[in-house]
Amino acid sequence: MNLLENIRLALEGLRANKMRALLTMLGIIIGIASVMAISTLGSAMTGSVSKTMDKIGGKNISVYLTPKNYDSQATLQPEDYITQDELNSFKETYADQIRAISLSSSLGSGKLNSGYVHKDVSVTGANPDYRLVNNINLVQGRFISDRDIQSSRNVIIIDTTLRNNLVGVNGDPTGMDITVETKNTNETYTIIGVYEKVVIDNPLFNMGDDTRIECFIPITTAKALNSQSTAIPGYENFTIMASANTDTTAFAQITKQYFIKNLGALSDYTIEAQSMEAMVSEATSMLSTLSLGISVIAGISLLVGGIGVMNIMLVSVTERTKEIGIRKALGARNSAIRSQFIIEAIIICLIGGIIGVGLGSVLGVLGSSLLKFPTTPPFTPMIIALCFSMGIGVFFGYYPANKAAKLDPIDALRYE
Amino acid sequence: MRKKIIEMRGIVKSYYLGTPNELEILHGIDLDVYEGEFLSIVGASGSGKSTLMNILGALDRPTQGHFFLDQLPMENVKDEGLSKIRNEKIGFVFQTFNLIPRSSALNNVALPMLYGGKSRSVRTKRAKELLELVDMTARSHHRPNELSGGQKQRVAIARAMANDPAIILADEPTGALDTHTGRMVMDIFHRLHQEQGKTIILITHNTELALETERTIRLKDGSIVENKINEKIQLEGSYESA
Ligand SMILES: Nc1ncnc2c1ncn2[C@@H]1O[C@H](COP(=O)(O)OP(=O)(O)O)[C@@H](O)[C@H]1O
Ligand SMILES: [Mg+2]
């Protein structure tokens, strides 16, 4: 029997009982809508995670000294620090795996004074690799060089906002001298470069919004200016950028073992090495646990929805017993009756699915823009959701449809 | 000699209501019906007329006996085959019309052709012609609940004719109608019989209507007690419709 004819029949039936049809569809709508909302949110998050990974360096491993026991009054001993020599030999040993090692040392906040411009800034001492590892986007001049480090030069890299304040958007501040007051002493620096601040607008990677302008000076200059750190023979932390084909999670372990050997057995401190990938997967696994939970709810809702469809189809078969008898008297085969009712169940579920996909997409898009990862609903889950809802129609529609098909024509005709 | 369209030999129909209680409704019916005959079956309520008609119309199977429809032995036909026979060879007209409530008159008439696998254009064309034949063209897009009893029965007759069946089986088709509309329905049967040569089996309570047919079978408690050629019809050759 004609498929189109069956669809027309089913739609006629639904139009005759709009409220009942809607209530029947509710379970399917809620189930499909939650699945769709989740997949929209999920794809928005994965998309934003991989974009942010590119910005903040997906290949980075952060290495730091940390107390073995947080309760104790742990203090760092001079021999605990990681020296430049140790770093150099580490870099030589794993030359294939390491692309860059970034070192930094904060000089804290300071005040910049230059003519009429007075700004609060924070000053960070950095090594040349800092630029690569932290994805510093230089727009004018150059970054810190090895010679700047060796000679502890008073040179500084400022950001574009500061440049705009000093010389305007089109000006070139390189070569200009500025005075910055840190630790209550005034130092004069020569500007050698301008960088553009990378904005990471991803709530999953909220790194403490620092609205202060950050300026970079050679790490050796910074150490010389900091009375606390001049005495210190090395570094408490550094960041490795692994080469492209290195497994950062495994290399983090290797790094940890390498530096733990150098620590004295009696030290209160130990080494931690954490790859950015591991941190991200920790964040995303939290998300997937959440979406698993919602998927379970969606699954239950779809099951309940399917049972609802089956129930209403059984009611429909009983209500239309006489009609089934008439159709059989006119020559309808059992298979024609069966497909009529299965198609009706599929249509109910498919309409529910379409409403659910629409609703879920809207919710997903709204939710993801609230969480600041704007997105469009993904296509594949849409198709899967629609196919799945049709599958529910077939599964839960089969039993009532088969019941209708097997009715005895005379009993059905006599039914009042 | 005219072709035998129905041949029944020793047809018995029993219902089993629990093991010891066998209820025999038809007790060995022998019946021959020839192509183009207009036959009536009369009898008191409960005498087994509808039971016999269900067997004649391939809706039900006899408990015993042999039944040939258009020379085909029905005991060998499977259920799917019975559907096909009902669709192609039988046109039912019921006392309570039995139209599909949600479908228009046109779609009701087209339904047997849908189950017969005819294309939409063929179905619509033929359904329109049939509605024209029963003078229901003006109401072709109305649903059954928008039609009077007589109009519904005319649509039902048009539907019975859809696949040009060998036999029209009408079970008390005027039973739910007043005399006037009943008359109109009877006139349509006479026209189908005379103009198209249809074989018609009419079940009725009304002995006057039965006298209009060529032959009358009387059932009593599940047995044929009378098989009478209606002289008036034989003499006049055919019934003159008013
Ligand atoms: N399914 C059934 N089970 C038991 N008895 C039945 C069944 N169908 C019909 N009968 C009985 O068969 C007899 C004949 O019924 P029916 O053929 O409908 O009579 P009519 O159409 O002549 O009034 C009735 O006594 C009725 O009660
Ligand atoms: Mg009856």
Predicted pLDDT at A25:
92
Lowest-pLDDT range, A334-348, A371-385, B141-155?
A: A371-385
* Average pLDDT taken over every residue of chain A: 86
**A168 and A107 in a common domain:** yes
Same domain for A90 and A47: no
Residues in Cβ contact with A132 at an 8 Å cutoff, skipping those fewer than 6 apart: A99, A100, A102, A241
SS3 label, residue A122:
strand
Tell me the per-residue pLDDT of A386-415, one tens digit each, with 9 for 90 and over. Answer: 999 999 999 999 999 999 999 999 999 999
| A285-322: pLDDT as tens digits | 777 787 788 788 888 888 999 999 999 999 999 999 99
A21 and A70 both lie in a single domain: no
Q: Is A331 on the interface with B (CB under 8 A)?
A: yes
For residue B50, name the pLDDT band (cuts at 50, 70, 90).
very high
For residue A403, what are the domain limits? 3-53+284-414
Final residue in a domain of this structure, among A241, A275, A309:
A275
Across B136-159, average pLDDT: 96
Query: What's the pLDDT at B235?
Result: 46
Alpha-carbon span B172 to B94, nearest angstrom: 7
Please check whether residues A70 and A14 belong to one and the same domain.
Answer: no
For residue B158, count CB atoms less than 10 angstroms from its CB and return exposed for 0-12, middle for 13-18, buried for 19 or more.
Answer: buried
The verdict on A259 and A191 lying in the same domain is: yes
Answer with the one of A258, A275, A292 that is the final residue of a domain.
Answer: A275
A315 with A331, same domain: the answer is yes
Average pLDDT over residues A171-189: 88
In terms of pLDDT, which residue wins out, B114 or A260?
B114
Mean pLDDT of A79-108: 86
Last residue of a domain, one of A230, A258, A275: A275
A-chain residue closest to B117, CA distance: A1
B230 close to ligand 1 (CB < 6 Angstrom): no
pLDDT mean across residues, chain B: 92
Q: Based on the domain organization, do A236 and A355 belong to the same domain?
A: no
Mean pLDDT of B199-211: 93
What number is the ipTM of this complex? 0.94
Q: What pLDDT, on the 0 to 100 scale, is given for residue B242? A: 42
Mean pLDDT throughout A133-151?
Answer: 90
- Convert the pLDDT of each residue in B96-131 to its tens digit: 999 999 899 999 999 999 999 999 999 999 999 999
In a 13 Å sphere around the CA of A364, the CA atoms on its Cβ side amount to 28
pTM for the full predicted model = 0.74
Count up the domains in chain A and report the number. Answer: 2
What residues of chain A lie within 8 A of the CB of B109, using their CB? none
Q: Are residues A245 and A165 located together in one domain of the fold?
A: yes
Quote the pLDDT of residue A211: 65
Residue A51: pLDDT above 90?
A: no
Residues 6 or more apart in contact with residue B15 via CB below 8 angstroms = B22, B23, B25
Cβ of B116 within 8 Å of Cβ of A409? The answer is no
Say yes or no: A37 and A95 in one domain.
no
Do residue A233 and residue A328 come from a single domain?
A: no
Beta carbon of B50 within 6 Å of any ligand 1 atom: yes
Per-residue pLDDT band at A376 (split at 50, 70, 90): confident
